[in-house]
Structure 1
Amino acid sequence: MSEAGNPIRVGIVMGSDSDWPKIRKAAESLDEFGVGYEVRVMSAHRTPAAVQEYAETAYDRGLRVIIAAAGGAAHLAGVVAAHTVLPVIGLPVPTQLAGGLDSLLSMSQMPGDVPVATMAVGMGGPRNAGLLAVQILALSDESLHQKLVQFKADLVDKIKAKDAALQEAIARERGQGDG
């Protein structure tokens, strides 16, 4: 999880190990940028003391951002945010009951003075959670900043290539491309 020479700067916590397959793209985003992270399972309801200790000691352990994923009542992100000054990114996990809307609303309706930056439910949420963590870290890391600049430039190139390929395919379908 922490590549050689890359200190652990992001904590990923989840309410259940069954959440991991749904949120692992957050970790993959961090891997893509060479950002070290740790992954833990803890519950706001079943292990509240462990959550409190984790959040309170995170800064001293070198963490700079925490991604907290949970489904259902989804209190984990809020409890973590209550016990740390670090940025907390809430990652709502899809559920069978409400498709994750319950999780999303729980995380996004935090009271004043306890912010949680809440991501979307579904495929884009975990990816964006990891990318937001990278962006936060890049504010004080020039190398990471440059990687993000290149990432954005690469996105533009990929979309231009996809557009060109689509235009070419449409032209062929219409019989305009085979002269």
Structure 2
Amino acid sequence: MNTPQPKIAIIMGSKSDLHIMQDAADVLKELGVDYEITVVSAHRTPDRMFSFARAAADRGIKVIIAGAGGAAHLPGMVASLTHLPVIGVPVKSSNSIDGWDSILSILQMPNGIPVATVALNAAKNAGILAAQILSTGDETITGNLIKYKQELARKVEESAKEMEG
């Protein structure tokens, strides 16, 4: 069977982050975008992180979504090792300082090593942003995004009608 080559990689520092990062996978699936998903820890498996980040582009990956909690070094370290766009998802983890440690670790990158950062636990937005990046060169993804956003608008209009009676 010929399996499409994933264009987006979803990585997280720990399997415990999957309940958040699954939202990125779900929205990418809904938008018809192939992805891969795995655990890559900046602190516990630095060699795996280095190998992953350096090989991603050669494997056909176009965008990396990296979720991490606590010190949250994964998105920034991966961004330092690749030319690919990296979208960071700060995760409010069990050892988190109300999520602020993760947010600031991902958001406050030095000049030259950008990481696009979404809101705390907002993996769904990371998936949408990754699809939007790919859509600049893919009309199918563009069409799927337009339909997705039209459906969002339809739901709001439906809610308004229900409330206004």
TM-score band by shorter chain is over 0.9
Corresponding residue SS for 1:38: strand
Pairing of 1:1-179 with structure 2 (within 5 A): 6-96=4-94, 97-122=96-121, 125-168=122-165
Q: C-alpha separation between the residues in 1 aligned to 2:24 and 2:52?
A: 19
Q: C-alpha separation between the residues in 1 aligned to 2:156 and 2:5?
A: 33
Question: Could you list the runs of 5+ residues in structure 1 that have no partner in the other structure?
Answer: 169-179
The C-alpha deviation readout for 1:98-142, integer Å capped at 9, x for no partner, is 1211100000000000000011113xx111011001101101001
Which of these two proteins has the greater Rg computed from alpha carbons? 1
The C-alpha deviation readout for 1:132-161, integer Å capped at 9, x for no partner, is 011011010011101111212222111111
Corresponding residue SS for 2:59: coil
Q: Structure 1 residue 5: deviation in Å?
A: 5.4
Could you list the runs of 4 or more consecutive aligned residues of structure 1 that deviate by over 2 angstroms after TM superposition? 4-7
Question: Could you list the runs of 5+ residues in structure 2 that have no partner in the other structure?
Answer: none
Number of aligned positions between the proteins = 163
When normalised by structure 1's length, the TM-score is: 0.87
Q: Structure 1 residue 36: deviation in Å?
A: 1.0
Q: C-alpha separation between the residues in 2 aligned to 1:115 and 1:31?
A: 26
Q: Structure 1 residue 95: deviation in Å?
A: 2.4
Greater displacement, 45-54 / 103-112 = 45-54
